Amino acid sequence: MDKKVRIGVLGGYRGSSMINYCERAENAQVVAICDKNPEVLNTQKENLKDDNITFYDNFEDFIKHDMDAVVLANYANEHAPFAIKALKRGLHVFSEVLPCQTMKEAVELIETVEETGYIYAYGENYCYMPAPYEMKKLYRDGKIGEFEYGECEYIHNGEPIWPSITYGEKDHWRNNMYSTFYCTHSIGPMIHMTGLRPVSVIGFEGTQNERKLRVGAKSGLFAVEMVTLENGGIVKSIHGWLYKDSIWYSAYGSKGRMECGREADKNSGHIYKMYIDSDEYSGGYDTAKYETYEPKHGMEDKLDGFGHGGSDFYSMYHFIEKIRGNSEADTIDVYEALDMFLPGMFAYRSILKGNTPMEIPNLRDKKERDKWRNDTACTDPKVAGDMLLPTFSKGTPDIDDGVYAYVKKMWDEECKNKDSGYIAAAFSQGSKK
């Protein structure tokens, strides 16, 4: 395909990053933007001033627009139904995290991708951060041998930004999610690195305390998943609201270890730097090689302004190149997306059963799907029916409406000055302006 790929974006808040990618890209252009929030839509109109873009306030009209692909940057628990509708209309799909919220949706999503044959790319951008992406390349080159153990962390104390991302809405998905739901920023890069399927998981949930309750978030504070992979390797994943942030990945194999820098040490290079300690062969203890360097992936000149260590650029770049038929395009398909997500979903089932180990279904196996077709268990009352789960293992907390009124007040204050703070940062992601 020589011409630019025509993209529609659903959700213009986080979607700003993908919109701005298209505005700058040589391989794509944004032709339609949809958001039900008039403020978001107007801000995009004003920022872009682009007559080639049509703006929609509803999905039904938006999806009929003449385009090649859609980016789904709507609510994290509502991606699957929109992905299914888009695929059935003949559009390629880039889905923000997370891929789905129930097993029923997981089966429907996989089967729709299989039936339609259109490209589904999961936007787990953390896989493309400089060091985690280098870890994938090194692992596939055999640098540390066979994977044995790994640790991954996505710790983000959400309290200071909660007004900017939940707007005081009591039932915002971020308030209603359970502790292990948002698991793919930690687990994702380990799956993309090793290519190994997770087969079982044990979940643990941080306690529920004032830090979450005072801003209306209803889950446990953080989550741990102990995941066993198909080769017997074990991954410890941790994510959630511990007080100090950390993004970190480490992998041990049969002949070495590799990891990125730790956020706690401001001189470590963080996700921009690799630390490798590996032998030439397993048992070759006198051949140890220590290497430390900042990996480059060849498009550094294009990353300026893109968030999450430039990974926001790469996830979109690979999606567009996949559509254009580039065989080098490295996207995350629907099976891999679920390999990243199901450990979190089943970790919560483990927590609800007193931390018992849970098998992770293999949805690549068509026979296994039937068992899950009607499983709507989740924390979203609109979808769960009689399978509604509590947001915390000891029960969904009853939070006073005054808490949400307080959060909304803070959000309203923030909206008075859109040119600075989180809102300005959100809309300018990927923008060179």
83 belongs to the binding site for ligand NAD (CB under 6 A): no
Kindly tell me which residue out of 55, 75, 335, 406 binds ligand NAD, with binding defined by CB under 6 A: 75
125 belongs to the binding site for ligand NAD (CB under 6 A): yes
Kindly tell me which residue out of 18, 28, 34, 274 binds ligand NAD, with binding defined by CB under 6 A: 34
- The three state secondary structure string of the chain is CCCCEEEEEECCCCCHHHHHHHHHCCCEEEEEEECCCHHHHHHHHHHHCCCCCEEECCHHHHCCCCCCEEEECCCCCCHHHHHHHHHHCCCEEEECCCCCCCHHHHHHHHHHHHHHCCCEEECCHHHHCHHHHHHHHHHHCCCCCCEEEEEEEEECCCHHHHHHHHCCCCCCHHHHCCCCCCCHHHHHHHHHHHCCCEEEEEEEECCCCHHHHCCCCCCCCEEEEEEEECCCCEEEEEEECCCCCEEEEEEEECCEEEEECCCCCCCCCHHHCEEEEECCCCCCHHHCEEEEECCCCCCHHHCCCCCCCCHHHHHHHHHHHHHCCCCCCCCCCHHHHHHHHHHHHHHHHHHHCCCCCEECCCCCCHHHHHHHCCCCCECCHHHHHHHECCCCCCCCCCCCHHHHHHHHHHHHHHHCCCCCHHHHHHHCCCCCC
239 belongs to the binding site for ligand NAD (CB under 6 A): no
180 belongs to the binding site for ligand NAD (CB under 6 A): no
Closest approach of ligand NAD to the CB of residue 65, in Å: 13
Closest approach of ligand NAD to the CB of residue 356, in Å: 29
Nearer to ligand NAD, 42 or 356 (CB): 42
Closest approach of ligand NAD to the CB of residue 265, in Å: 23
Query: Could you tell me which stretch among 28-36, 229-237, 316-324, 375-383 binds ligand NAD (CB under 6 A)?
Result: 28-36
- One-letter identity of residue 10: L
Nearer to ligand NAD, 115 or 171 (CB): 171
* Footprint of ligand NAD on 84-113 (CB under 6 A): 96-97
Nearer to ligand NAD, 11 or 216 (CB): 11
* Footprint of ligand NAD on 280-309 (CB under 6 A): 308
176 belongs to the binding site for ligand NAD (CB under 6 A): no
Size of the site for ligand NAD (CB under 6 A): 21
Q: Are strands 69-72 and 358-359 parallel, antiparallel or unpaired?
A: unpaired
192 belongs to the binding site for ligand NAD (CB under 6 A): no
Closest approach of ligand NAD to the CB of residue 39, in Å: 9
40 belongs to the binding site for ligand NAD (CB under 6 A): yes
Nearer to ligand NAD, 75 or 149 (CB): 75
Closest approach of ligand NAD to the CB of residue 17, in Å: 8
* Footprint of ligand NAD on 302-341 (CB under 6 A): 308
Query: Could you tell me which stretch among 6-14, 195-203, 341-349, 375-383 binds ligand NAD (CB under 6 A)?
Result: 6-14
187 belongs to the binding site for ligand NAD (CB under 6 A): no
138 belongs to the binding site for ligand NAD (CB under 6 A): no
Residues that bind ligand NAD (CB under 6 A): 10-14, 34-37, 40, 59, 73-76, 96-97, 123, 125, 165, 308
